[in-house]
Structures are given as structure tokens and as C-alpha cells.
């Protein structure tokens, strides 16, 4: 019998109950002032008027959001039409992030499953191997990817050298290069939660399915997948969310044609051509989308927890 169970309410250790206010104060202060505060400030900025050399004029305005969604012609006096430019960029970001998530899932699920079915003592080594590249500077990884994939890069050299192709394949500056870059950036986020779920999975269930005449692939589809679904969902969200707002992969691997939200936002704050309220508004729209996805997933997770326990 655990001490916590016996004493009813004190399941959680409370040695520092009386000091927790002081202990939490530094983190509240730093994160409140330098993360939460700025996000609130950004919300305010998105409703201000732009200053032409960057910055804002403190006059309330809906211009930023108006510019995002509506086209009022060159001089702003035509009847508003739906503006597609920015919606297209957002849509492309969602699409690219979705494709990168799918790619990560297709590669990440078998990988996670394979690692989780290794002997217990070597599993941490596999996990470690998968996560190391994540800790290498994202910029360096993206640059390395670009270096590898260039028209005159080692990959094309190798393929031409082996006689598989005659002329280099153009990968850099395509959608696929961006997806590959995003996949490379966030793959561990897909592998780790699925790995954790598969590790908890009770493989006697697979045996039971096999005993009841299910083929191996049917077992995977009908028994294993439903059991590890929370891990799969978590992995997809962890890849999709940062992919959508990524800047480096589209900027370095995608080129001008494959503009994503990150680059759109970045552009608003560089040099004199920027439009701070518009950048703030675009950031708010991105943040709202992300929070909706996270809330949705939290609700799903809570539902799964309730069903499971």
C-alpha cells in the first residue's frame, strides 16, 4: 500500500507547499513579461496603423486585417473583393506542413515501431540515434540539406556517376525540397510519441489477433493502430504545428515561389518596406490556428485518457 493512497488527498508531494509562490515567481515573471506580455503587445500592434519606415503609429486601425482578407484596388477606393494572395500563402503553408507531416508519418511510424520492438536495453540507443540530429543547429541542418540536394551537389553527382540519371534532378526550390526540409527538421517529434505508445502496447493482443486468424497487416491496421492512435495524433500535431510557421526550410530550400507564412511575416519586419501591424496580424492569425489545433488535440487526449482509464 502506498503512503499516498492511504492518506487520501496527499497523493502529490507537498514539502514546499508554503514556498511555491516564491519558487514560481521567477518563471512567472520571466515568461509573463518576455513571452506572454509580448504576445499581448503583438495583438495590440495588429490593430494599429503602420509607419512607413517600420514600426507603428498609435492609432487604432483594422487596416492590417483588412489588407489580409480584402482587396480594395490600388488606391483603396474600389468595392472590397476577397484578397487571395495571403490566403494562398496560408493555404500553401498548411498544405506543405500537411505533406511534411504525412511524409514524417510514413517514415516515422515504421521507425518508431521498429525501435519499440527492439530488446529493451538497446531501445534508448536507437532513440538517441534518432534524436541527435535534432539537437544540431536547424540552420546548419537546412544548409547541409541544401548543399546535398543542389543540382551540382553530392547527391546528383552520385546519381550521375552511377549512371542512374543523365542530367541532375532539380530538387532545390521545389515544394518537395521544402517538405523534405520540414521532415528533416521535425522527424523526432513524430517518432518519439509513437515510440512511447508502441512501447506501452501489449503485444499479447497481436498474438490474440493472430490466433484468431488475422493476417499481420490486418493486425497492424485493426489492433495495433487503434491502440497507439494517441501517439500518432500527438506526433502529427508536433510535426504539423512547427512546420506551418517554419521559416528556414522554405526560405533556404523553397525559393521565392514557395513562400510560406514564416517568410511572409519575416518580410514585414525587415528593412523599410515592412508593415508591422500587418506582420503582427499575420502572426496572430497563425497563432490562433495553432492554438485551435492544440486545444482540439488536448480535448481528444482528455477523451482518450478518460476512455483508457
Partner 1 sequence: MPGNKTDAIDVRNAVKRYGDFTALKRISLTIKDNEFFTLLGPSGCGKTTLLRMIAGFEDVTEGEILLFGDEIESLPPHQRPVNTVFQNYALFPHMTILDNVAFGLEMRGKSKSAARKRAGEMLELVQLSQFAARKPSQLSGGQQQRVALARALAPQPKVLLLDEPLSALDLKLRKQMQLELKHLQRETGITFIFVTHDQEEALTMSDRIAVMSAGEMQQLGTPTEIYEQPRNMFVADFIGETNLLEVSVDQVMNGRAVCHLGGGHALTCNSVDGIGAGAKVHMSVRPERLFMSDVPVEAESLKGRVAENIFVGTDISTLVDLAEGPQFIVRTSNSDRGNKRIFEPGSEIFVNMELGAGRLLMD
Partner 2 sequence: MAHVNENIKTYKGFRAITLLCLVVLYAPLVIVTIYSFNASQSITNWEGLSFRWYADVFTGPESAKFKSAAFNSFTIAIMAATASTMIATLAATAMVRGGQFKMRTVSFGLISLPLMVPEIVTAVATLIFFNAIGFTRGYLTILVAHVAFCIPFAYLPISARMQGIEDSFEQAAMDLYATRRQAFTKILMPLMAPGIISGFLLAFIVSLDDFIITNFVKGAGVETLPTAIFGSVKQGIKPNIMAISTMLLSVSIVMVTISYFVSKSDSTK
Nearer to partner 1 by C-beta: 6 or 212?
Answer: 6
Nearer to partner 1 by C-beta: 13 or 82?
Answer: 13
Per-residue contact string for residues 65-104; x = within reach of partner 1 by CB under 8 A: ----------------------------------------
Nearer to partner 2 by C-beta: 15 or 82?
Answer: 15
* Nearest Cα to Cα of residue 90 among 289, 304, 296: 289
Q: Does 6 bind partner 1 (CB under 8 A)?
A: yes
Nearer to partner 2 by C-beta: 143 or 169?
Answer: 143
Q: With contact defined as beta carbons under 8 Å apart, do 122 and 198 qualify? A: no
In the complex, the smallest distance separating the C-beta of residue 13 from partner 1, rounded to whole angstroms, is 10
DSSP string for 120-180: TTTHHHHHHHHHHHHHS-HHHHHHHHHHHHSTTSHHHHHHHHTTS-SS----TTSHHHHHH
Reading phi first (left if > 0) and then psi (alpha if -120 to 50, else beta), residue 54 is in left
**Candidates 5-13, 100-108, 143-151, 243-251 — which segment interacts with partner 1 by CB under 8 A?**
5-13
- Helices marked H in the chain: 3-6, 20-31, 37-45, 63-69, 84-116, 123-135, 138-149, 154-161, 175-200, 204-211, 216-219, 225-244, 248-249, 261-268, 276-308
The DSSP bridge partners found for residue 56 are 50
Nearer to partner 1 by C-beta: 8 or 271?
Answer: 8
> Using CB under 8 A, which of 3, 82, 140, 256 touches partner 1?
3
Residue 232, classed as helix, strand or coil, is helix
* Nearest Cα to Cα of residue 223 among 198, 258, 248, 242: 198
R_g (Cα) of the chain, nearest Å: 25
Nearer to partner 1 by C-beta: 5 or 74?
Answer: 5
Q: Within positions 8 to 67, which residues make up the interface with partner 1, using CB under 8 A? A: 8-10
In the complex, the smallest distance separating the C-beta of residue 158 from partner 2, rounded to whole angstroms, is 10
Residue 143's binding partner, choosing from partner 2, partner 1, none, with beta-carbon cut-off 5 to 8 A by kind? partner 2
Per-residue contact string for residues 280-299; x = within reach of partner 1 by CB under 8 A: --------------------
List interacting residues with partner 1 (CB under 8 A): 1, 3, 5-10
Amino acid at each position: 500500500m502506498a503512503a499516498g493512497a492511504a492518506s487520501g488527498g496527499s497523493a502529490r508531494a507537498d514539502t514546499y507547499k508554503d514556498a511555491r509562490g516564491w519558487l514560481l515567481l521567477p518563471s512567472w515573471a520571466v515568461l509573463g513579461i518576455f513571452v506572454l506580455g509580448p504576445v499581448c503587445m503583438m495583438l495590440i500592434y495588429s490593430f494599429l496603423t503602420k509607419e512607413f519606415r517600420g514600426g507603428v503609429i498609435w492609432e487604432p486601425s483594422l487596416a492590417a486585417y483588412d489588407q489580409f482578407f480584402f482587396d480594395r484596388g490600388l488606391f483603396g477606393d474600389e468595392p472590397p473583393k476577397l484578397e487571395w494572395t495571403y490566403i494562398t500563402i496560408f493555404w500553401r503553408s498548411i498544405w506543405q506542413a500537411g505533406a511534411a507531416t504525412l511524409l514524417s508519418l510514413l517514415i516515422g511510424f515504421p521507425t518508431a515501431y521498429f525501435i519499440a520492438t527492439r530488446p529493451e536495453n538497446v531501445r534508448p540507443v536507437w532513440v538517441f540515434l534518432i534524436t541527435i540530429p535534432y539537437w544540431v543547429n536547424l540552420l546548419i541542418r537546412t544548409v547541409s540539406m541544401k548543399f546535398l540536394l543542389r543540382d551540382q551537389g553530392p547527391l546528383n553527382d552520385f546519381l550521375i556517376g552511377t549512371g542512374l540519371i543523365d542530367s541532375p534532378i532539380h530538387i532545390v526550390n521545389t515544394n518537395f525540397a521544402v517538405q523534405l526540409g520540414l521532415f528533416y527538421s521535425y522527424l523526432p517529434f513524430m517518432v518519439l510519441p509513437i515510440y512511447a505508445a508502441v512501447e506501452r502496447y501489449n503485444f499479447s493482443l497481436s498474438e490474440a489477433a493472430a490466433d484468431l486468424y488475422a493476417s499481420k497487416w490486418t493486425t497492424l491496421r485493426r489492433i495495433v493502430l487503434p491502440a497507439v492512435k494517441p501517439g500518432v495524433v500527438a506526433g502529427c500535431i508536433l510535426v504539423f504545428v512547427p512546420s506551418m510557421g517554419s521559416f528556414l526550410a522554405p526560405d533556404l530550400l523553397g525559393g521565392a515561389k514557395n513562400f510560406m507564412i514564416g517568410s511572409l511575416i519575416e518580410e514585414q519586419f525587415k528593412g523599410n518596406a515592412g508593415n508591422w501591424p500587418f506582420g503582427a496580424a499575420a502572426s496572430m492569425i497563425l497563432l490562433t490556428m495553432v492554438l485551435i489545433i492544440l486545444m482540439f488535440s488536448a480535448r481528444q487526449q482528455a477523451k482518450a485518457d478518460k476512455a483508457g482509464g
